[in-house]
Amino acid sequence: MLGYPTKKKVVKKEVNYANLGMTLESDIDLTNQYYLRKSIAVIHKKPTPIQVVNVSYPARNKAKITEAYYRTPSTTDYNGLYKGYYIDFDAKETNSKTSFPLSNIHDHQVQHLKDIDTHGGIAFLIIGWKKYQEYYLLPFKELFHFWSSAQEKDGRKSIPYTYFKENGYLIPFSYEPRLDYLSVVEKVFLSQTK
């Protein structure tokens, strides 16, 4: 069959969604390990409280949880200490190019961050913009401003990307630490106390 084009075999590429949304958390985990190793801060990911209902034991050393439920809604992802200050924050990512939807944050998380802020802790969100590969720190007070507006009848239900570009606190991304969010915490929260 010389000279005739052959049909190309179409191979469907499998897309693995297993680690979708884990990059930001992985980067924060690596950063926290760096902070701990260098004695800069002690910040850890909070475990999600679950109630195990059923376990399968196919072999003695291969126990497998087959049924479990969340005991209570989790509050935020991370907490710890930095220079004697209590820090509590959540990490969120968005695929949007134009805005961060406030529906990504739950009422109980806002209430938890508000309680932390009220009692003198440092409360914030880290927002990852996947399309731009940018990460911003959003202090709780700014989040609460947008959150309160969204609760009104015609309130905006998202935070525009332009707000982050114009008013945001860009977190530097590097090899080590991966996401140096404490350098931003230092500028935003602690420079005023000195």
Which pLDDT value is given to residue 73?
Answer: 64
Which pLDDT value is given to residue 157?
Answer: 94
Which pLDDT value is given to residue 20?
Answer: 39
Which pLDDT value is given to residue 72?
Answer: 59
CA distances from 85 to 81, 82, 184 (A): 5, 5, 14
pLDDT > 70 fraction of the chain, expressed in percent and rounded: 82
Which pLDDT value is given to residue 52?
Answer: 75
Which pLDDT value is given to residue 15?
Answer: 40
Which secondary structure element, helix H or strand E, spans residue 22, and what is its range? helix 22-37
Q: Which CATH number fits domain 22-193: 3.40.1350.10, 3.10.129.10, 3.40.50.1220, 2.60.120.10?
A: 3.40.1350.10
Q: What is the per-residue pLDDT across 60-105, written as a single tens digit (0 to 9) for each?
A: 778 887 777 766 567 899 999 999 999 999 999 999 999 999 999 9
Q: CA 123 to CA 35: how far, in whole Å? A: 18
Q: Which residues of the chain have pLDDT under 70?
A: 1-22, 49-50, 70-73, 193-194
Identify which of 186, 190, 182 has the alpha carbon closest to the alpha carbon of residue 28: 182
